[in-house]
Structure 1
Amino acid sequence: METTSADAHDPDAHEPGTPPPGGARALVIDKPGTHRLVSGPRPSPGPGEVRIAVHAAGICASDREVYDGTRAAGYVRYPVTPGHEWAGTVDAVGEGVDPALVGRKTVAEGFRACLRCGRCREGETSLCESGYDETGFTRPGAFADALVIPARLLHPLSDDADLSAAALLEPAAVVAAAVLAGGPLPGDRVAVVGAGTLGLLAVQMLAAYSPGELVAVDPRVRRAEQGLGMGATRAVTPTEAAGEAGRYDLVVETAGAPSTADDACLLARRGGRVVLTGMFEPGARGIDPVHLAVSQLTVRSVFGAPSSAWSHAVRAFDAGVIDPAPLITHELPLTRFAEAIGLVGSGDPGVGKVLLRP
């Protein structure tokens, strides 16, 4: 990785890997497989904007796609500073923004919705018709010391919030969108397919709805069993789950594996609900249309989260309904990005959520 370094003859030189006085660092991916850590002036917020001192930013599979060059065309713009899962503190505000926000712990929505189109006016800001535009993919993200974003996207947190845990509120908002779409009812039999970050957050959130049964499904037994401490009543492998086809009122799919969309539909009872949350890659197995029609399933998909789901997730976090902290297994500095992105792509079942700490 190319990094800035201090000059021994420069009186303003700073320690390598740390931001210069009054400046800030940012991790930049110029093109797939190429990254560098740059230093420059600390950005200033413009009208309607705030500047965030980033506390922590999570790395997820979509960031790995950006680095590998496998993210779908139109959903990334190089060069880019990734980082769409983050938490931090407001340290400056632009013209027209309430100065009382300075010092507030916060997270923020990533989608830059237009707020004018038909979908936005219906409250479906993740379906904005003005085109895809998201922090960390088409706009500079939080793999940096500082981040400038529109103040309207903020979701302030309580003063005692754990900012490392709060960095997982972006995936929690996606899960909230899935749960709200699924409409869980007390006593429902519920299955969560996948026990990664999304899946275990889904288990926590669904447990609050008092399901009659809440099953975590994952071939990684250790990960599925982690759900038992988060509200799941059972942990099973996909092979074991296949023997329970047609059992569940609600199935929330979070894995994005080649077969899990079809698997989720097979687990649902006749007339049941299925929500697809995982990010599928080309070649994934499709849903059998005959089974879909005959079983009269309701199938929804989720990509990102509207403002309402963000509000739901933040309230659940502040109330202690969800606790993302146990999902974090690694926290590394920006200077160790190569190691961090390698962990995310390693397939090691012991790797959960990896955070970068500026």
Structure 2
Amino acid sequence: MSRRLVIERPGEHRLEQGGTPAPGPGEVLVRVAAAGICMSDREVYDGKRAPGYVRYPIVPGHEWSGTVEAVGQGVDPGLVGRKAVAEGFRACGICERCREGETSLCTGGYAETGFTEPGAFADHLTVPARLLHLLDDGADLRAAALLEPAAVVAAAVRAGRPRAGERIAVVGAGTLGLLCVQLLAASSPAELVVIDPRAERAEQARRFGASAALSANGPEQGRFDLVVETAGAPTTAASSCLLARRGGRVVLTGMFAAGATGIDPVHLSVSQLEIRSVFGASSAAWSEAVRAFGLGLLDPAPLITHEFPLERFAEAVALVGGGDPKTGKVLLRP
């Protein structure tokens, strides 16, 4: 038997019990070890995710880790017993963007585990074997559940192209921001400054490798070669551009809501800024995140503050976005 958490419609969920799903051709069956809850999952539960990016009823859960239990037709049986994570986007693999390696820009239509396809708030899930990224036998599956946001951060770092000796700022010290600090610290920056009004998060950023932590932009404007925005707050896209030096680079990683403050086009043109945005992660970014995790350059475990069984989903999801600075990453442990 296998359980799964189903959101029937916004604000309504149930815990179902039924047979264990069988992997189809090209698929694997994974026993879920841990699944993270992020603000996107809270948006699905609250009914605030854009209609084209969710399909009710849905089993959420796009941040997860687990162990392969069975394989479908055409899949290497040697995968059984391997620890793994998997990409969330169900990219087609054949469109022009996919063939260029930009799988997060797939033109074949949006499909993603936990939003349009059954996710990991369950005992088991099935995923295409081609999306798997295998982990070392000794990998910490609890920490590995955060490799999905780590892959998004890896995509942001790839877009930002950090170079040794640069001055770098990270805006926001949530899960994305703190993972970003870890990856950027490995590039040997001259300065790695984190900007977040929460004192507790600023202190954690220092432990993760930041050279300084500030509560506001202040006099830091115009100083940084690279600025990576991770907060998704109404003003942070515009304020991040003000932090960059003339000719600097800005990567927008946070998910912004409609009505956010726009970027000043005069400042943009006069300052000759290079601006990139990130939505999800390509296969290449996933590979980099998994590799960094395996080498110990990336350790998401200290970000985890709460763990709940599936039966306590309502309590767990209420913590996400609740505003308590002591709440870090919340996990479900089937």
Q: TM-score range by the shorter chain?
A: over 0.9
Q: Structure 2: which amino acid aligns with 1:186?
A: A
Q: 1:353 aligns with which of 325, 329, 332?
A: 329
Gap regions ≥5 residues in structure 1: 1-22
- The alignment yields a C-alpha RMSD, in angstroms, of 0.5
* Alpha-carbon distance in structure 1 between the residues aligned to 2:24 and 2:93: 19
Aligned to 1:168: 146
Aligned to 1:278: 254
1:144-187 CA distances to partner (integer Å, 9 max, x unpaired)? 00000000000000000000000000000000000000000000
1:131 is displaced (CA, Å) by 1.4
* Alpha-carbon distance in structure 2 between the residues aligned to 1:225 and 1:119: 40
1:191-221 CA distances to partner (integer Å, 9 max, x unpaired)? 0000000000000000000000001110111
* Alpha-carbon distance in structure 2 between the residues aligned to 1:126 and 1:35: 29
Gap regions ≥5 residues in structure 2: none
* Alpha-carbon distance in structure 2 between the residues aligned to 1:220 and 1:75: 31
The TM-score with structure 1 as length reference comes to: 0.93
**Match of 1:243, SS?**
helix
1:23-73 CA distances to partner (integer Å, 9 max, x unpaired)? 100000010000000001000001110000000000000000000000012
1:346 is displaced (CA, Å) by 1.2
2:54 counterpart of 1:83 = no
* Alpha-carbon distance in structure 1 between the residues aligned to 2:99 and 2:266: 36
Q: Structure 2: which amino acid aligns with 1:190?
A: I
Aligned to 2:93: 115
**Match of 1:232, SS?**
coil
* Alpha-carbon distance in structure 2 between the residues aligned to 1:352 and 1:151: 31
Q: 2:114 aligns with which of 107, 112, 136?
A: 136
2:242 counterpart of 1:266 = yes
1:335-354 CA distances to partner (integer Å, 9 max, x unpaired)? 00000000113110000000
2:289 counterpart of 1:313 = yes
1:242 is displaced (CA, Å) by 2.5
Aligned to 1:251: 227
- Please identify the structure whose Cα radius of gyration is greater: 1
Q: 2:190 aligns with which of 207, 212, 233?
A: 212
Aligned to 2:158: 180
**Match of 2:33, SS?**
strand
* Alpha-carbon distance in structure 2 between the residues aligned to 1:221 and 1:314: 30
* Alpha-carbon distance in structure 2 between the residues aligned to 1:282 and 1:220: 24
Say how many residue pairs are matched. Answer: 334
Aligned to 1:57: 35
Aligned to 1:7: none
* Alpha-carbon distance in structure 1 between the residues aligned to 2:322 and 2:107: 36
Aligned to 1:6: none
* Alpha-carbon distance in structure 1 between the residues aligned to 2:209 and 2:246: 25
2:49 counterpart of 1:68 = no
Aligned to 2:204: 226
Aligned to 2:300: 324
- Asked if structure 2 preserves the Cα contact closer than 8 Å seen for 1:328 and 1:352, the reply is yes
The runs of 4+ residues in structure 1 deviating greater than 2 Å are: none
* Alpha-carbon distance in structure 1 between the residues aligned to 2:189 and 2:290: 22
* Alpha-carbon distance in structure 2 between the residues aligned to 1:345 and 1:266: 27
1:121 is displaced (CA, Å) by 0.7
1:103-126 CA distances to partner (integer Å, 9 max, x unpaired)? 000000000000111110110000
The TM-score with structure 2 as length reference comes to: 0.99
1:225 is displaced (CA, Å) by 1.5
Q: 2:317 aligns with which of 336, 341, 353?
A: 341
Aligned to 1:48: 26
Q: Output aligned runs, 1:144-163, within 5 Å.
A: 144-163=122-141
- Asked if structure 2 preserves the Cα contact closer than 8 Å seen for 1:242 and 1:267, the reply is no
